[in-house]
Amino acid sequence: MFDDEIEKLTNRALHELADFALEEARRQVPVNSGKLKKTIRIKWSKKSFEIIFGNESTYLPEYGFGYEYLVVNGTAPHTITAKNAKVLTDGKSFFGKIVNHPGTKANPFDVRTYQAILNKLNQISNASTNLSQRYQKTG
């Protein structure tokens, strides 16, 4: 009976932590088009979860990895050449056939997300310890 209650509480806490993790990941991810943010999800196994960033819609076959990798790690300065058009454009401006891109700064939103989850776990652990100590004093 007591073990069932502990399992229920543990499962509830785990689901609440997963909800927190999902919300935090979506808060931390940088948004340009919103495409990457929409791919953030929780993948469950029996008694654990993982946060997934990216999917086939963010996969870049020319690089062999997803767009999220470039966001997290940044990019070095590089040259971009138009392949299927006469000029490069963002839909508003035209840039020419070749552009020297300055690169992008790394934005490790995944690390910030995991740090927030660890902080939350520490809060839960401290609250649990305090509760246990109070219970032992009154027991």
Bridge partners for 96 per DSSP: 88
Beta carbons of 39 and 110 less than 8 angstroms apart: no
Nearest to residue 29, comparing CAs of 45, 57, 52? 52
Taking the whole predicted model, whether its pTM rises above 0.85 is answered as no
Burial state string for 68-90 with b = 16 or more CB within 10 A and e = fewer than 16: bbbbbeeeeeeeeeeeeeeebee
> If you average pLDDT over every residue of the chain, what do you get?
88
Tens digit of each residue's pLDDT (9 = 90 or more) over 33-75: 899 999 999 999 988 899 999 889 889 888 888 989 999 999 9
What are the domain boundaries of the chain? 2-56+109-138
